A and B are shown apart, each in its own frame.
Chain A
Amino acid sequence: MKPQNDIAIELKNITKEYIIHHEKPTLVEKFYKGREEKFIALNNINLIINKGQKVGIVGLNGSGKTTLLKIIAGITTPTSGSVTTNGRLVSLIDLEAGFHPDLTGEQNIYLNGMLLGMKKHEIQQKLHRIIVYSGLGKFFDACLFTYSEGMKLRLGFSIAIHANPHIFVLDEGLGVGDDNFRQKAKHTLLNNKHTRTIIICTHNLELIEQQCTRIIILDQGSIIRDGGLEVLKSYGRYIT
C-alpha cells in the first residue's frame, strides 16, 4: 500500500507553453524562421487534489482552465513538470467528441466507451443501462447524424458516467441538456460522494456553488485563489 493513497491527482511544477501558430507552419518556414513565438498557458502550477474532492475551476477566458484539464486528463503533455493520477480518469472535455456520425448510437457506445478505457464485456453488461440513462429510447439504433445536440450530449454523458470513473473531469458543464437531464446528471455526480473525485470547469457559478466544495481561481496561467466556497465571492468582485 502506498502511504499517500488518498491523493487523486498531484501536479508538480506544471508549465505548459504553446507555440503560437500565426499561420499554418510549413516545412520550409520551420527552417528559415528558426525560433517560434511562445505563449505560456500554465505557469508553474502545483496542485494536490484528494480523493472525493469536488473541485470547481473558474477563471476568465484564456486563463488556462481547459489546458489544466487537458493536462490532468493526459490529453496533452506539460512542457515541464509531472502529473500523477490515481484511479480511472474519464474526461468530458468536448462532450460529443469521438462520435462517428454514420454509426448507430449503439455502435458509438462501444467505440466511445472503449476510447474512455472500458473493456468490451463491461460495455456489453452496461449497454442497457447506458441507453436507459441517456433516454435515447428507440433511437439507440439510429445513425448518430440524426440525433439532436441534446441527445448527443446525453449519450456522451451517459457513457462517461457508466465508465465509472474515480476521477471525472468535466469542461463547460451540461449546458445543452434540458432541466430534467441536468437534475439527473447532478444527482449522479453527487452520488458516491466520498469516493469520486470531480473536477468541473465552467462559467456557471451556480453549478459550482451547488456541486463543489473547493474552488480554484485561475488567472493568466497561475492559481490565484484556492479554497472553499467563500473564494467565489472574491471571484465575483474580481470579475467586476
Chain B
Amino acid sequence: MNGEGNNKKNKDKQQIHNNKRCVYYSAAPSASQIDNLMYNSAMKRGFTHFLELLLVMTEKELRARYKHTVFGFFWLVANPLLQMLVIGFIFTFFMKEPILHYNYYLFVGLLVWNFFSLSLTKATPSIVFERSLIKKAVFPREVIPLSILLSNVVHFLAALILYVIPVAFLGTLTPMSIVYVLAGLFLLFVFTIGISLLTAALDVRFRDINFFVQALLIIWFYATPIVYSFSVIPYRFIWLWRLNPLTSVVQLLQHGFVGAPLPGPAMLGTNILTTTVICILGVSLFGKESKNFDDWI
C-alpha cells in the first residue's frame, strides 16, 4: 500500500514537472525546422567520407589478418598458389571429367567459391563481432560488412591475376573474354554485397542466421557447377540452378577463361533477377535495421 502511495506521489510530481517543462519550452523554437528523426550530423558526412572510412576499415582487416605472421602479405599470393598446385596435380590424375582444361575450369570456380563463402561466413556475424564500434559512434554501419568483402576482393583479385598467367598459354582467351569475366565479376560482387548485408542485418536479432548460413554454404557448393559441368544436370531440376545466382557467375568466368559453354538466356535472366531482388532487399533491410543495432548487441 505504502509503495503504491509513493508511486502515485512520484507520478504526480513527474506530472507537475512535465507540465512545468511544457510551459517552459512552449516559448522555445519548435517544429518547422525539425524533420522527424533527422540527424544533421550523420547526414553531413558525405560519400567521400564513406569511401575513406571503407578503405581504412579494409586496410585494418588486411593488416590485422597478417599481423604477427613472418611472411606477411606473401600469404596473399602463397595461398592460391599452393591451392593451384594441389588441384593441378591431384585432379589431372584422379578426376576423369570430360571437360577440357579441367583443372583450370575447376580452379576458377573454386576461386569464386572461396571468395563468396569466405565473405559470407565472415560478414554474417560481423556486426555482432564489432559491437564495440557500434557502441562507440555514429557512422554508416555498412562499412563493417563491406570492409570484409573488400578485403576479400583484394585476395580474390590477387589470386585471379596469378591464375591468368598460365591460362594465357592455353590459347582459350579471346578479346571477348574480358567482357564475360567483367560481367561475371560484376554479378558476383553485387550478389555478395546484397546477401551479406541481408544476413549481417538479420544475424543481429536472430543469431541462428549464422548457423543457417554455415549449413547452407555446404549445400550451396554442390548446387553450383564448380566441380562438375552444367551439362550433367537433369533438365527437370534445372530450376534449382536458376535460383542460384552463382551459376551464371561461374559459367561466365569459365567461358571467359577456358571456353566452357555460356549460361543460357533463361538462366542469365533469372539469375540477374534473383541478384537484383536480394541486393535491394539486403540494402534496404540493413538500412532499416542498422538504426536499432545498438539495442540488440
Contact = CB atoms under 8 A, between A and B. Distances in A.
Interface of A: 2-4, 7, 10, 12, 18-19, 24-27, 30, 44, 46, 48, 70, 73-78, 82-91, 93-94, 97-100, 102-103, 107, 110-111, 114-117, 119-120, 143, 219-220, 222-226
Nearest to B41: A89
A94 B56 contact: no
Interface string B8-42: 00100110011001100100111001111111111
Contacts of A89: 41, 138
Interface stretch (B59-67, B77-85, B165-173, B231-239): B59-67
B136 A3 contact: no
Interface string B202-237: 000111110000000000000000000000000000
B138 A103 contact: no
Contact of A82 (B35, B57, B206, B207): B35
Contacts, number: 137
Contact of A107 (B49, B60, B207): B60
A82 B37 contact: yes
Nearest to B29: A4
Contact of B21 (A4, A46, A84, A220): A46
B64 to A, nearest CB: 5
A44 B18 CA distance: 9
B206 A26 contact: yes
Contacts of B208: 26-27
Contact of B41 (A3, A12, A85, A120): A85
B292 interface: yes
Contacts of A24: 207
Contacts of B42: 74
A77 B37 contact: yes
Nearest to A101: B64
B36 A75 contact: no
Contact of B295 (A18, A27, A74): A18
Contacts of B52: 114, 119-120
Q: Which 8 A-B pairs have the closest CB atoms?
A: A76-B294, A97-B132, A74-B138, A4-B29, A97-B136, A98-B136, A77-B291, A102-B67
Given A46-B21, A85-B40, A119 B135 contact: no
Given A44-B18, A76-B291, A115-B136, 11 more contacts: A18-B295, A75-B138, A83-B37, A83-B39, A84-B38, A91-B138, A93-B136, A97-B136, A98-B132, A99-B132, A119-B52
A88 B136 contact: no
A224 B17 contact: yes
A100 to B, nearest CB: 6
Contacts of B63: 102-103, 107
B284 to A, nearest CB: 16
A93 B35 CA distance: 26
Contacts of B25: 46, 48
Contacts of B96: none
Contacts of A220: 10
A223 B64 contact: no
A88 B137 contact: no
Contacts of A114: 49, 52-53, 56, 139
11 contacts: A12-B34, A26-B207, A27-B209, A44-B18, A77-B292, A93-B135, A97-B133, A98-B137, A114-B52, A115-B133, A119-B49
